A = this chain, B = another copy of it.
Amino acid sequence: MTEPRDTKTRIMDSAEALFAEAGFDAVPIREIMRRADARLGLMSYYFESKEALLEAVIARRIDVLSSERKNRLLVFAGTSESSIEKIVDAFIDPFLEMMTTKNDGWRNYGRLIAHLAQSSRWIELIHRYFDATSELFIAELKRICPNVPDDKVVRGYVCTVGAMLHIFSITGRMRMLSDGKVDDEDIAKSGADLKTFISSGLKGTLTEGERRG
């Protein structure tokens, strides 16, 4: 079925999972290599440093995510068919589908991004890999809300990312808040409510410039 993963891949998978769970600094290289079933020295053979390993983990999945987001946006962007709902779908659905249908890697990737994006220490890394795509979405929001000041659109985008990443972080908080009734792991179900929340939130924030209809 799935072909055996080579050593470099196993190291990245292991780092992705452990960084997602505990954060970059809480994870020793030794633990990454133990989970990858490889000896300590091999990290330095494949990656320049622990930080370079983190960057490799981020870089590995960025192209497939960003191009899927971009492709879906470009179906309607710039046309009169565009809408806040469609923009939100194009932004959220690719990540959501990968986290739910693919292997655990994408799930860990989402949780890891949630850590990094909340920290000024790593925000430059997030900026470098994510913000070319961010700017496409912000530009399309601006286009369909031409009378809204730019800073409102940027704040609306940041609220969007915050809500999304907090849902994606899968901490167990929802279970705690619901006496065990809501399952944080059920990203598909959460994703539906998340998209409603974000679409409504953006509409409210960008309401002044909303087009007729």
Please give the number of chain A residues whose Cβ is less than 8 angstroms from any Cβ of chain B in the complex.
62
> Once the chains bind, are B204 and A173 in contact (CB under 8 Å)?
no
Which residues of A (187-202) have their CB < 8 Å from a CB of B?
Answer: 189-190, 193-194, 196-202
- Say yes or no: is A121 at the interface (Cβ < 8 Å to chain B): yes
Contacts of A24 in B (CB 8 A): 25
How long is the Cα–Cα vector from A189 to B34 in the complex, in angstroms?
47
- Say yes or no: is A1 at the interface (Cβ < 8 Å to chain B): no
Which residues of A (107-124) have their CB < 8 Å from a CB of B?
Answer: 114-115, 117-121, 123
- Say yes or no: is A102 at the interface (Cβ < 8 Å to chain B): no
Chain B: which residue is nearest A179 at the CB level?
A: B150
Contacts of A201 in B (CB 8 A): 163, 196-198, 200-201, 204
Question: Could you tell me the distance in whole angstroms from the C-beta of A187 to the nearest C-beta in chain B?
Answer: 11
Question: Could you tell me the distance in whole angstroms from the C-beta of A98 to the nearest C-beta in chain B?
Answer: 19
How long is the Cα–Cα vector from A151 to B155 in the complex, in angstroms?
27
Candidates B158, B167, B169, B193; contact of A173 at CB < 8 Å: B158
> Once the chains bind, are B150 and A181 in contact (CB under 8 Å)?
yes
With contacts A151-B182, A155-B167 taken as known, whether A177 is within 8 angstroms of B23 at the C-beta atoms is: no
Question: Could you tell me the distance in whole angstroms from the C-beta of A209 to the nearest C-beta in chain B?
Answer: 13
> Once the chains bind, are A135 and B199 in contact (CB under 8 Å)?
no
Interfacial residues, chain A to chain B (CB-CB below 8 A): 21-26, 114-115, 117-121, 123, 126-127, 131, 134-135, 138, 150-152, 154-167, 169-174, 176-178, 181-182, 189-190, 193-194, 196-205
